[in-house]
Structures are given as C-alpha cells and as structure tokens.
C-alpha cells in the first residue's frame, strides 16, 4: 500500500533547527577553540581540513571541511539520491558555516595540547551526537565508509572502514607535519569524541527494538522499509479486551534512527501503540549490512 506523504509540522521544523544550531555550535567550538589552535588531527573531513589549515592558515578549517565533503556529496547523490542525502548536506553546510562564524571570535581557551584534545573531542562528539539524534550526519569518513561498503569493501563492516580511513588521515597528517607525538593526542581526542557521541545518542547500546501496534500496520511497515531501509516482521496478536486480531510490527534499528521511526509512526497513525526497548546484542546479515 502507498505510504502517506510526509507532513512536517512547525514544531518539528523548529525543533530540528534548534538541534542543528546547537549541534553545529558545539561542533564549530571544538574546531575553532581547541582542535584547530592545538593542531590536533581528528579523522574524516575535519582532520583533512585541520591539516590543510596548518600549512595554509589563511584557509579556514570550516571552509576546508565543506570543500573536502563536496566530492563525497556529489558521489553520494549519485549512489543514494537527494531523498537520503539531504540531511547530510544540511549538516555539512551548517557545521562548516558555524565554524567559520566562530573564527571571528578573538578567544583563546588554552595552549595545553592534552586539554585541547580532551575538550575538543568531547565537544565535537556532543555536537555530532546532537545532529545524529535528529537524523543529520556531518559527512566525512562516515559517508565515505557507507559508500565504500556498498561498492568496493563489502567484506568489511562500516565501523572498520571508518577506523581505517580515520587512521590513514591521522598517520598521513603526522607524516606531513612531522608531528609524531600528535598521534597520541589524536587518539585521546578520538576516544573523547566516541565517548561523547555514544553518550548523546545512546550508541553504546547495540540497537533499539520497537514493537508497533496499529491498524495501519501495512503503511507503517512500508514506510520503515522504504524510508529507513530496515526490515520488519509482522507478529500475530489478539487484543484481550476487544477480542480482535492485531498485527504487531517488530523492527530493530540503530539508536540514531529511533527518532525517524517515531516520527514516521506518529505521522501515519498518531493513535499507534509503541513499545521501545534496548536490544543488547543483534546479530545477522540483514541488520549488519545496514550499519
């Protein structure tokens, strides 16, 4: 059955804007006040941008983040299409713009490389986590890894590809700048980043399991499959009070996809009954292929 066209309310738009602004502000603060001044290299487009800024200080990190993401976005549009990638485009633009705007603030926090690595990683992870919690992705190695896994590196998990790309950028930057002790601070910043992003989006939990009871189960199941590319299972149920048969949708998603599932269900059937719980461990090709 066809899925109802998405209706976005003013409350949802305002909420998204607030999350984008706050997430981008934290993201930009990490770059401008901590990672950039100390030359701490992270993975992804941020690491590439920071390295370029070391050699060419007149080119802002925010601008280079955007430039580094442009080829990925163009390829991503071809692979996924605008329907999937528009949130990535918004996140890349907003984080780059906010980083450039914060450059105008004459503010120096500290020159301590260890403190810069810790605070920079935490703020970057907090900003990225806020964006991810609303379905926005700041691109970089995350986007590159997803595309590589779909095309060239199917035998590797997305997480391993991201790690490999980030490691390549960090080591490559250390060789170019001849700052080999910087690798130590990069590892600290990366750990702080991972901790913060996990804390924000609850990513330390493997997945979220949802049970959805609705008379519009076909529309909801179609929506989850087409919009999130997640599989669903229909379970047979019986309403004890009403005595009527019910169809229960079982679906397992990543924590950062939970917001989109709830928004989809609310859009199609505001009266739907949902149960959300943690899935401590999820195994199987169908789930892992979409990590």
- The predicted model gives 44-68 an average pLDDT of 88
CA 65 to chain centre: 16
Q: What is the mean pLDDT of the chain?
A: 82
Residues 6+ apart with CB under 8 A from 214: 220, 249, 265, 268, 269, 271, 272, 273
**pLDDT score for 4:** 47
The pTM (predicted TM-score) of the whole model is: 0.67
In the chain, pLDDT over 90 holds for what percent of residues? 9
- The predicted model gives 236-261 an average pLDDT of 83
Alpha-helix runs per DSSP H in 30-181:
36-38, 44-55, 61-79, 82-102, 113-133, 141-151, 158-177
**pLDDT score for 239:** 79
Q: Is the pLDDT of residue 242 over 80?
A: no
**pLDDT score for 22:** 92
Q: pLDDT tens, 222-240?
A: 888 888 878 888 888 887 8
**pLDDT score for 80:** 78
**pLDDT score for 291:** 47
Query: Of 190-204, 207-221, 235-249, which range is least confident?
Result: 190-204
Reported in sequence order, the residue ranges of 155-267 that DSSP labels E, i.e. its strands, are 207-213, 233-238, 245-253
Q: pLDDT tens, 57-116?
A: 888 888 999 998 898 888 888 877 888 788 888 888 999 999 999 988 877 677 788 999
Cα separation, 246 vs 234, in Å, equals: 10
Pick the closest to residue 250 from 281, 214, 206, 283 (CA basis).
Answer: 214
Range picked from 4-13, 104-113, 210-219 for highest mean pLDDT:
210-219
Helix (H, G, I), strand (E, B) or coil at 5: coil
Cα separation, 194 vs 197, in Å, equals: 5
Question: In the chain, what are the domains?
Answer: 10-201 (no CATH), 207-288 (3.30.70.120)
């Amino acid at each position: 059955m066809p899925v109802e066209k998405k209706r976005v309310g003013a409350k949802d738009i305002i909420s998204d804007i607030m999350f984008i602004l706050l997430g981008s502000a934290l993201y930009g603060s990490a770059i401008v006040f901590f990672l950039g001044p100390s030359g701490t290299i992270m993975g992804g487009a941020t690491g590439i941008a920071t390295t370029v800024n070391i050699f060419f200080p007149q080119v802002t990190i925010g601008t280079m983040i955007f430039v580094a993401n442009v080829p990925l976005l163009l390829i991503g549009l071809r692979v996924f299409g605008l329907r999937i990638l528009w949130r990535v485009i918004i996140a890349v633009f907003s984080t780059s713009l906010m980083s450039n705007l914060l450059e105008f603030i004459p503010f120096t926090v500290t020159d301590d490389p260890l403190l810069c690595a810790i605070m920079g990683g935490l703020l970057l992870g907090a900003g990225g986590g806020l964006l991810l919690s609303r379905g926005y992705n700041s691109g970089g190695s995350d986007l590159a890894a997803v595309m590589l896994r779909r095309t060239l590196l199917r035998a590797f998990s997305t997480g391993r590809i991201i790690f490999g790309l980030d490691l390549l950028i960090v080591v490559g930057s250390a060789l170019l700048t001849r700052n080999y002790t910087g690798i130590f601070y990069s590892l600290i910043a990366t750990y702080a980043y991972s901790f913060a992003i996990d804390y924000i989006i609850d990513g330390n939990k493997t997945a979220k399991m949802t049970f959805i009871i609705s008379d519009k189960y076909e529309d909801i199941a179609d929506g989850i499959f087409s919009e999130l590319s997640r599989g669903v299972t229909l379970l047979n149920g019986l309403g004890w009070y009403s005595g009527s048969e019910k169809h229960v949708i079982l679906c397992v998603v990543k924590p950062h996809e939970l917001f989109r599932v709830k928004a989809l269900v609310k859009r199609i059937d505001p009266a739907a009954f949902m149960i959300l719980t943690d899935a401590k461990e999820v195994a199987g090709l169908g789930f892992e292929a979409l990590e």
